[in-house]
C-alpha cells in the first residue's frame, strides 16, 4: 500500500494529468491518490469570491472561465466520449453550486468564512472526480466523509482520532486505486465544510498514509526533490538525496515550500518514509525523508528563509529572571494560539527577543503588555517593542550544534558581507541555527550562506 499526493502543478494541464495517469497505472501496489485542485484554481476561487463581495460583475466571467477550463480538461484527457460526458455531468452540479454561491455573496456584499470554505472546497471536489475518471478502474472517495476537523482557538484542526477511525473503516473493503481530494474536510460536530489550510492536501495524504500503515508516502510536485535552498533565489541549489524527518520539519517551518509542515507528524510517528518526486520527471530518484538517512552523523541538509517576520523585544529583563520571563511570554502567546522563537540580540544581554510572524505581531505585543503590566508599571521592565520587515535565515542539519565554531563563522560571514544580523538562535534546537536579517538582505544572505556551505569544503571538515 502506498499513498501518492499530486499537487496543483501536477493536475493543472492535460499533459500533467497524463503523467499522473501513467504513474498510477504503472503501479503494482494498492494505492490511494490524493489530489489538489487544478493548478492555480484555489487562488482564483478566492479572488473571484472577493470580487463578488466587492460588487464587481467580473465574477460572472471568472466563473465561466473556470467552468470552461474543467470541461476542456475532461475533453482533453478522457478520449471515450460517453465517459467524458458522464464526467461532465458529475461536476456540473458543483459548478452550478459555485455560481449560486458567488451570486449570493454578490447579493449581500459580504463573504462569510464558512461560505468561502465551501467555495474553495469545490476545487478539490471537482478535480478528484476528474482524476478518478482519467485513471483506469479508479474508485472515488469523498474526503468530506472521512477527514474531520474540530475547533481550536477559532481555527479548524484535524480531529485526528475520529479521522483515523473513519479512514480505516472506509478502506476496509474498497477497490483500488482510490482517488480523493486533499485539503477539504468537514466539522465533526456540525458537518459544515472546512479545510486543513493552504498546503492541506499534503496533510490529508499523511493522515491517510498513517491510518492505513502505508509503506511510503509519495509527494509528487514540480521539482526533482527537496533542494538545499530555494532555487528561485539560489541558482546552484542541489537536490538532497536523503534527509531526516526533523530536518525536513525544520526546513519547512523556516519557509521551505516543498511540504506543508504538519504533514510530517502523522507519518513520522509511524516511521513511514516520505519520498519527494517530480511529476514531470518521474525517473528522477527524488528525496527520501526517513528516520535514519544514510550519511555522516554531522550534516548540513539545507538553508531556508522565513520572510514577513517581526522581532518582539521585552526590554529590561534581568539575567537571573530570564527563564521565568521566557516561560511567561510563551504561555501568554499560547493562550491565543500564537508562538514565538527566542533569539539572542548581539550586544544586548537584558532583552528577551521573540521572532513571530508579522501578521501576529500586534496581537503579540498586546498580550505581552498585558502579561507584564505589573513589571512595566514598576519599571522593572522598560518596554515591549516590535521591529518589522525581518526574515529568518535558517541553517538546518542533524547535530548541527556539534559543528564547533559554525555559528561564529556564519555571523562573521554575514557581517563582513555588509548584512546586519539583528538576532540569532543557536541554542534552542539540535538541528537549526537561525539568523535574523532585514528582508531586503534575505536573498543575498541566502546566497552567501549557501555558497559557503555547499560550494566549498564539506561543513563537517570545517
Residue 297 — pLDDT band, cuts 50, 70, 90?
Answer: low
Dist. CA 318–CA 300, nearest whole Å: 35
Q: In what order do the strands lie in the sheet with 242-244?
A: 139-141, 178-181, 31-35, 2-6, 216-221, 274-278, 287-290, 242-244
User: What pLDDT shows up at residue 348?
Assistant: 87
Q: How many CB atoms lie within 10 A of CB 347?
A: 6
| 302-461 CATH choice from 2.70.98.30, 3.40.50.1000, 3.30.2130.10, 1.10.238.10 | 3.30.2130.10
User: What pLDDT shows up at residue 265?
Assistant: 87
Answer whether residue 403 shows pLDDT above 70. yes
User: What pLDDT shows up at residue 295?
Assistant: 74
User: What pLDDT shows up at residue 458?
Assistant: 46
User: What pLDDT shows up at residue 456?
Assistant: 56
In this structure, the chain runs to a length of 462
311-322 mean pLDDT: 89
Dist. CA 186–CA 159, nearest whole Å: 10
Dist. CA 250–CA 238, nearest whole Å: 18
> Under a CB-based contact definition with an 8 Å cutoff, are residues 124 and 183 in contact?
yes
Dist. CA 288–CA 245, nearest whole Å: 10
> What are the sequence ranges of the domains in the chain?
2-221, 302-461
The pLDDT tens digits for 257-279 are: 888 777 888 999 899 999 999 99
Render 319-333 in DSSP notation, one character per residue. GGGHHHHHHHHHHHH
User: What pLDDT shows up at residue 227?
Assistant: 93
> Under a CB-based contact definition with an 8 Å cutoff, are residues 454 and 397 in contact?
no
C-alpha cell belonging to residue 301: 541538509
Dist. CA 407–CA 343, nearest whole Å: 13
User: What pLDDT shows up at residue 462?
Assistant: 42
The pLDDT tens digits for 340-390 are: 999 999 988 899 999 999 999 999 999 999 999 999 999 999 999 999 999
Average pLDDT, rounded, for the chain: 93
Percent of the chain with pLDDT over 70: 98
Answer whether residue 457 shows pLDDT above 80. no
Residue 328 — pLDDT band, cuts 50, 70, 90?
Answer: very high
Task: Give 341's strand partners.
Answer: 355
Those residues with Cβ within 8 angstroms of residue 255's Cβ, 6 or more apart along the chain or in another chain = 230, 304, 305, 306, 307, 392, 394
C-alpha cell belonging to residue 393: 535565515
User: What pLDDT shows up at residue 298?
Assistant: 61
277-294 mean pLDDT: 93
Angle between helices 58-77 and 41-53 (to 10 degrees): 160
**Which residue in this structure is represented by grid cell 473513519?**
166
192-214 mean pLDDT: 94
The pLDDT tens digits for 207-233 are: 999 999 999 999 999 999 999 999 999
Answer whether residue 129 shows pLDDT above 90. yes
Dist. CA 312–CA 332, nearest whole Å: 13
307-330 mean pLDDT: 92
Residue (of 143, 138, 141, 182) closest to 163 by Cα position: 143
Percent of the chain with pLDDT over 90: 83
Residue (of 289, 245, 251, 294) closest to 269 by Cα position: 245
Lowest mean pLDDT among 91-95, 198-202, 207-211, 279-283: 198-202
Answer whether residue 68 shows pLDDT above 50. yes
CATH domain 2-221 topology: Carbamate kinase (3.40.1160)
User: What pLDDT shows up at residue 173?
Assistant: 87
Most confident of 36-40, 343-347, 401-405, 430-434: 36-40
Residue 331 — pLDDT band, cuts 50, 70, 90?
Answer: very high
User: What pLDDT shows up at residue 404?
Assistant: 77
User: What pLDDT shows up at residue 259?
Assistant: 82
Answer whether residue 296 shows pLDDT above 70. no
Radius of gyration of the chain (CA): 24
Answer whether residue 182 shows pLDDT above 70. yes
Amino acid at each position: 500500500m502506498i499513498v501518492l499526493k499530486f499537487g496543483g502543478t501536477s493536475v493543472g494541464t492535460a499533459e500533467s494529468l497524463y503523467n499522473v495517469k501513467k504513474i498510477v497505472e504503472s503501479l503494482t501496489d494498492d494505492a490511494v491518490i490524493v489530489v489538489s485542485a487544478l493548478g492555480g484554481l484555489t487562488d482564483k476561487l478566492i479572488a473571484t469570491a472577493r470580487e463578488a463581495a466587492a460588487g464587481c460583475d467580473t465574477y460572472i466571467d471568472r466563473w465561466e472561465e473556470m467552468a470552461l477550463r474543467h470541461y476542456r480538461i475532461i475533453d482533453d484527457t478522457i478520449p471515450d466520449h460517453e465517459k467524458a460526458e458522464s464526467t461532465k455531468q458529475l461536476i456540473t452540479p458543483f459548478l452550478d453550486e459555485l455560481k449560486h454561491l458567488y451570486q449570493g455573496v454578490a447579493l449581500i456584499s459580504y463573504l462569510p468564512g464558512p461560505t468561502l470554505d465551501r467555495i474553495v472546497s469545490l476545487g478539490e471536489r471537482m478535480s478528484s472526480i476528474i482524476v478518478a475518471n482519467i485513471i483506469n478502474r479508479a474508485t472515488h472517495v469523498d474526503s468530506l466523509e472521512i477527514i474531520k476537523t474540530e475547533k481550536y482557538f477559532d481555527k479548524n484542526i484535524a480531529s485526528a482520532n475520529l479521522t483515523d477511525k473513519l479512514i480505516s473503516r472506509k478502506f476496509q473493503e474498497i477497490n483500488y486505486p482510490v482517488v480523493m481530494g486533499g485539503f477539504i474536510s468537514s466539522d465533526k460536530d456540525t458537518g459544515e465544510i472546512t479545510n486543513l489550510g493552504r498546503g492541506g492536501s499534503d496533510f490529508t495524504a499523511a493522515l491517510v498514509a498513517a491510518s492505513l500503515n502505508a509503506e511510503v508516502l509519495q509527494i509528487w510536485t514540480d521539482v526533482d526533490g527537496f533542494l538545499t535552498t530555494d532555487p528561485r533565489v539560489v541558482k546552484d541549489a542541489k537536490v538532497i538525496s536523503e534527509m531526516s524527518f526533523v530536518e525536513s520539519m525544520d526546513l519547512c517551518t523556516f519557509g521551505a515550500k516543498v511540504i506543508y509542515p504538519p504533514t510530517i507528524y502523522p507519518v513520522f510517528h509511524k516511521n513511514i518514509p516520505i519520498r519527494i518526486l517530480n511529476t514531470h520527471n518521474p525517473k528522477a530518484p527524488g528525496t527520501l525523508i526517513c528516520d535514519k538517512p544514510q550519511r555522516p552523523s554531522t550534516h548540513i541538509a539545507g538553508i531556508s528563509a522565513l520572510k514577513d517576520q517581526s522581532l518582539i523585544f521585552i526590554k529590561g529583563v534581568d539575567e537571573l529572571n530570564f527563564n521565568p520571563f521566557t516561560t511567561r511570554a510563551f504561555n501568554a502567546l499560547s493562550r491565543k494560539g500564537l508562538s514565538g522563537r527566542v533569539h539572542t540580540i548581539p550586544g544586548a544581554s537584558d532583552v528577551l527577543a521573540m521572532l513571530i510572524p508579522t501578521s501576529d505581531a500586534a496581537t503579540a505585543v498586546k498580550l505581552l503588555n498585558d502579561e507584564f503590566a505589573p513589571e512595566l508599571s514598576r519599571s522593572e521592565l522598560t518596554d515591549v517593542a516590535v521591529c518589522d520587515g525581518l526574515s529568518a535565515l535558517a541553517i538546518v542539519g542533524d547535530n548541527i550544534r556539534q559543528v564547533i565554531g559554525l555559528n561564529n563563522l556564519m555571523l562573521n560571514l554575514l557581517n563582513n558581507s555588509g548584512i546586519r544580523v539583528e538576532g540569532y538562535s543557536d541554542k534552542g534546537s539540535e538541528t537549526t541555527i537561525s539568523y535574523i536579517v532585514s528582508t531586503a538582505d534575505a536573498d543575498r544572505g541566502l546566497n552567501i550562506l549557501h555558497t559557503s556551505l555547499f560550494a566549498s569544503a564539506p561543513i563537517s571538515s570545517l
